[in-house]
């Protein structure tokens, strides 16, 4: 009862953290988003801003929820602490202070030991292509699909969070000292959710079935992950086609194939050179997509406003464009993660 009361009081504070798009209220009449909001509170423990920021695009919100639910929420072969360790390690590699704060604190709250620290180090190291193979991987082979899935989720969410949330899980203008109060409450709410009662796969009907992309072969042996990630990938590919011109998507995918996971640095000269091959009318979209994929922390209001001018100002298109670029980068990063000796 107490947890339910706290969740209700935190709803508006969760939504007010969202920037650059209008938050969608909890009592929205949009049926899919309304259902997802309630499922997130019930299963995850709190209405998470990284999910709620997508709500202008119901299909994208559903895709994110399926990926989150079947990794960090539903029970499986991997320990919860190891999943949080992966989330922390990937967030560190992507310079996402919001996610580092949340997942680092949850890892501490779970009392993670040396084993989870090794998993975190494995995740952070494997964020770079060509990472050295450890003498012994710090997890059981059957846990590998869930841990890679968690890495994909976090590579995706880190980028979206950097664009649409602040640096800390706090309302605007709240003092950073408030984290000492807020973070333990959020951790308590998440731990209060009865995750052992969460049945894997029960939210799949939010999106239609889809074939598994070849680059997601790491899901092998886990039917729930195969189903969730194939549906989510197809949904985000569909909305990406609506939000970004074909030449922009081709440019992003081509550059991702040559990417090694390292950030491009503080200068944005690289992106100006890259969009030079695009038609002038497509350069704003190209700039947004490339920055999202490779340096989400470099996106500012000018980049967003320039894209909005080409997309009729729609929040949904902005979410869909950045979602496509974020998942494309996450899928590429998963392709080089080492899961076997």
**Res 188: pLDDT:** 45
Tell me, yes or no, whether 116 lies in a domain: yes
- The answer to whether residue 339 is domain-embedded is no
| Last-in-domain residue among 210, 239, 268 | 239
Domain residues for 170? 1-239
User: What's the CA gap between 341 and 338, in Å, rounded?
Assistant: 8
DSSP H or E run through 88: helix 80-93
> How far apart are alpha carbons 15 and 93 in whole angstroms?
26
Do residue 259 and residue 227 come from a single domain? no
Q: Which residues contact 38 (CB under 8 A, 6 or more apart)?
A: none
| Boundary residue ending a domain (199, 214, 239) | 239
Q: Are residues 85 and 192 in the same domain?
A: yes
Same domain, 208 and 312: no
Mean pLDDT, 10 residues at a time, the chain of 341 residues: 60 84 95 96 87 98 97 91 93 90 83 85 90 76 94 97 81 50 52 66 97 96 97 98 98 97 89 97 98 96 96 93 98 87 57
Q: Last residue of some domain: 223, 239, 255?
A: 239
Q: Mark 181-190 as b/e (b = at least 16 C-beta within 10 Å).
A: ebbeebbebb
- 193 and 259 belong to one structural domain: no
Residue 292 lies in a domain: yes
Are 63 and 207 contained in the same domain? Answer: yes
Q: Which of 264, 336, 269 is nearest to 296 (CA)?
A: 264
User: Is 219 contained in some domain?
Assistant: yes
Residue 199 sits in the same domain as residue 269: no
In a domain, 32, yes or no: yes
Total domain count, the chain = 2
């Amino acid at each position: 009862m107490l947890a339910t009361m706290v969740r209700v009081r935190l709803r508006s504070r969760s939504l007010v953290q969202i920037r650059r798009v209008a938050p969608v209220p909890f009592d929205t009449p949009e049926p899919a988003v309304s259902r997802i909001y309630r499922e997130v509170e019930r299963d995850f423990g709190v209405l998470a801003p990284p999910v709620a920021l997508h709500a202008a695009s119901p299909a994208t919100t559903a895709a994110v929820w399926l990926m989150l639910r079947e990794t960090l929420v539903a029970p499986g072969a991997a320990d919860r602490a190891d999943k949080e360790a992966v989330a922390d390690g990937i967030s560190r590699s992507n310079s996402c202070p919001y996610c580092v704060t949340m997942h680092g604190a949850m890892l501490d709250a779970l009392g993670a030991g040396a084993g989870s620290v090794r998993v975190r180090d494995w995740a952070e190291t494997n964020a770079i292509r060509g990472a050295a193979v450890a003498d012994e991987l710090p997890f059981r082979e059957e846990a590998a699909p869930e841990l890679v899935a968690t890495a994909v989720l976090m590579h995706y969410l880190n980028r979206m969070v950097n664009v649409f949330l602040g640096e800390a899980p706090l309302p605007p203008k709240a003092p950073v000292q408030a984290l000492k109060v807020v973070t333990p409450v959020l951790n308590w709410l998440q731990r209060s959710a009865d995750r052992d009662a969460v049945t894997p796969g029960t939210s799949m009907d939010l999106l239609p079935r889809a074939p598994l992309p070849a680059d997601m072969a790491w899901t092998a042996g886990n039917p729930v992950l195969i189903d969730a990630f194939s549906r989510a990938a197809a949904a985000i590919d569909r909305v990406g086609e609506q939000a970004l011109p074909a030449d922009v998507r081709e440019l992003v995918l081509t550059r991702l194939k040559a990417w090694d996971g390292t950030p491009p640095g503080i200068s944005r000269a690289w992106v100006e050179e890259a969009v030079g091959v695009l038609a002038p009318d497509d350069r704003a979209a190209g700039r947004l997509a490339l920055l999202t994929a490779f340096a989400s922390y470099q996106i500012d209001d000018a980049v967003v406003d320039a894209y909005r001018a080409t997309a009729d100002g729609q929040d949904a298109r902005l979410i869909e464009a950045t979602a496509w670029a974020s998942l494309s980068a996450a899928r590429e990063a998963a392709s080089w993660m080492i899961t076997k000796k």
